[in-house]
């Protein structure tokens, strides 16, 4: 059993399992249950993404009016913006069941054929990280999306035979964080493509107030604004920070989330006023203190902070670049003037240095 994914369900399964693993599995299950409870159930409840919601609403209403299955939908955007939630809303709006899987789980055409052949008419198939699906599975998906048919190959070599398998009409909802990696033939088969944008602070405040109500947490408008300002434009992060601030308020305060309580709680969890966490600050600190603001190569920067190259590139860099604190150049990563100001440091040349790399306190 994979203890990272599933908590044990029987006494026999838990008999020889270390207690710390059981606690971790239970905690993960509780967090997932809370996240599921906070998901909006229909488009009217969904906050933000006004353009995508309006367009998607038209697609679904038209399909219902025709009594037809909705067109295939592709949702792209950064993690945590609501792609999975929208897929569930699509199924709910169409009154259809939903099947959830992911690209990395489909490495062979047979894996996809097994899923497709078991779909019911009108069912929604949500395929997360669709750009990570294997090429043979992608090619099978072309025909399934367009003609609702797949060819199952039986046998090998000259004696192999393709058996056509008819599929019931279904709706594929694909989600991707890297739309550019999708091959054009696959991308073109989606009837609707929606790009998810980062949320404005005022939208995140609405998300936080709604979640606080569902969690039965008393929160002041200023407290919601404080959390929203540190949530990196992402509802998933906003809800996660809200739960941690709730814990702090219950233990250290009177249970009410004010601006002061939110700021103190997020300080404990190392999330600063601009939303930077421990890794973000470690990257900036290394870039400024060890390399004088750059340029420095990504691999060198990753070694300096004790993280994998992919972690720095995919987790920390996108937010730092979007905030204007770091820039990617052909020569390497460099810090912007805003990065020096945010950490309270002065660039060497402004401190009267001769251009050598060093640290100068503001």
Higher confidence at residue 320 or residue 37?
Answer: 320
Question: Which pLDDT score, from 0 to 100, does residue 159 have?
Answer: 59
- Residue 291 known to bind ligand: no
Q: Give the residue numbers spanning the domain of 304.
A: 278-342
- Any idea which of 59-63, 120-124, 333-337, 345-349 has the lowest mean pLDDT? 345-349
> CATH number for the domain including 333?
1.10.10.10
**Is a pLDDT exceeding 60 seen at residue 12?**
no
Are 157 and 207 in a shared domain?
no
**Residue 149 in domain:** yes
- Residue 329 known to bind ligand: no
Is 178 annotated in the active site?
no
Q: Which of 53, 69, 128, 281 is catalytic?
A: 128
Is 171 annotated in the active site?
no
Model confidence over 208-265: pLDDT tens digits?
Answer: 999 999 989 999 999 999 999 999 999 999 999 999 999 999 998 888 999 999 999 9
What sign does the CA torsion over 283, 289, 295, 299 have? Answer: negative
**Residue 188 in domain:** yes
Are 144 and 239 in a shared domain?
no
Q: Which of 53, 69, 83, 280 is catalytic?
A: 83
CA distance 125 to 88: 10
Q: What are the C-alpha distances in Å from 224 to residues 206, 237, 255, 260?
A: 8, 13, 14, 11
Nearest 5°: the CA angle 343, 345, 346 is 145
- Residue 189 known to bind ligand: yes
Dig out the tokens for 321 from the structure.
């670049």
Q: Which of 69, 84, 171, 258 is catalytic?
A: 84
Q: Which residues contact 114 (CB under 8 A, 6 or more apart)?
A: none
- Any idea which of 228-242, 302-316, 341-355 has the lowest mean pLDDT? 341-355
Confidence of residue 344 (pLDDT cuts 50, 70, 90): confident
CB atoms within 10 A of CB 335: 25
Is 61 annotated in the active site?
no
Is 10 annotated in the active site?
no
Domain end among 176, 195, 214: 195
Whether 117 contacts 163, CB under 8 Å: no
- Residue 38 known to bind ligand: yes
- Residue 85 known to bind ligand: yes
Are 188 and 256 in a shared domain?
no
Are 283 and 328 in a shared domain?
yes
Dig out the tokens for 315 from the structure.
């987790």
Are 78 and 155 in a shared domain?
yes
Are 178 and 217 in a shared domain?
no
Whether the link from the prior residue into 20 is cis, omega within 30° of 0, is no
- Residue 83 known to bind ligand: yes
Are 323 and 289 in a shared domain?
yes
Q: Which of 83, 141, 85 is nearest to 116 (CA)?
A: 141
**Residue 239 in domain:** yes
* Phi, psi (degrees; rounded to nearest 5) at 340: -60, -45
The residues pairing with 219 across neighbouring beta strands, listed in sequence order, are: 257
Model confidence over 143-169: pLDDT tens digits?
Answer: 888 888 877 766 565 656 667 788 889
Whether 25 contacts 3, CB under 8 Å: yes
Are 162 and 223 in a shared domain?
no
> CATH number for the domain including 257?
1.10.8.60
- Residue 274 known to bind ligand: no
Match 């906050």 to its residue by tokens: 47
Count how many domains the chain has: 3
Are 147 and 174 in a shared domain?
yes
Output the CA torsion 32→33→37→42 (10° steps).
Answer: 60
Is 289 annotated in the active site?
no
Q: Which of 187, 230, 232, 236 is catalytic?
A: 236
Are 225 and 333 in a shared domain?
no
- Residue 281 known to bind ligand: no
Q: Which of 177, 209, 230, 277 is catalytic?
A: 177
């Amino acid at each position: 059993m994979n203890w990272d994914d599933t908590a044990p369900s029987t006494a026999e399964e838990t008999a020889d399992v270390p207690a710390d693993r059981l606690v971790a599995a239970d905690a993960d299950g509780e967090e997932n249950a809370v996240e599921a409870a906070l998901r909006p159930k229909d488009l009217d409840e969904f906050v933000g993404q006004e353009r995508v919601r309006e367009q998607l609403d038209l697609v679904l209403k038209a399909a219902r009016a025709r009594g037809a299955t909705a067109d295939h939908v592709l949702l792209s955007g950064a993690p945590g913006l609501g792609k999975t939630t929208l897929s569930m809303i699509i199924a709910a709006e169409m009154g259809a069941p939903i099947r959830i899987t992911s690209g990395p789980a489909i490495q062979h055409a047979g894996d996809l054929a097994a899923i497709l052949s078991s779909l019911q008419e009108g069912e929604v198939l949500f395929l997360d990280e669709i750009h990570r699906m294997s090429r043979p599975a992608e090619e099978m998906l072309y025909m399934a999306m367009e003609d609702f048919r797949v060819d199952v190959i039986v046998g090998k070599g000259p004696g192999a035979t393709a058996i056509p398998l008819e599929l019931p009409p279904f709706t594929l909802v694909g989600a991707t964080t890297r739309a550019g990696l999708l091959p054009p033939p696959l991308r073109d088969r989606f009837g609707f493509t929606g790009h998810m944008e980062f949320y404005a602070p005022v939208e995140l405040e609405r998300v936080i107030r709604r979640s606080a109500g569902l969690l039965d947490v008393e929160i002041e408008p200023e407290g919601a604004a404080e959390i929203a300002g540190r949530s990196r434009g992402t509802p998933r992060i906003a809800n996660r920070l809200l739960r941690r601030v709730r814990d702090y308020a219950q233990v250290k305060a009177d249970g009410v989330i004010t601006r002061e309580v939110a700021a103190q709680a997020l300080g404990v969890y190392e999330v600063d006023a601009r939303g930077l966490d421990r890794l973000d600050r470690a990257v900036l600190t290394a870039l400024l203190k060890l390399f004088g603001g750059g340029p420095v190569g990504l691999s060198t920067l990753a070694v300096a902070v004790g993280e994998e190259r992919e972690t720095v590139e995919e987790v920390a860099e996108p937010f730092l670049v979007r905030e204007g604190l770091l820039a990617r150049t052909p020569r390497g990563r460099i810090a912007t003037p805003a990065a020096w100001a945010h950490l309270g440091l002065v660039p060497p040349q402004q401190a009267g240095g001769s251009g050598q790399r060093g640290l100068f306190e503001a």
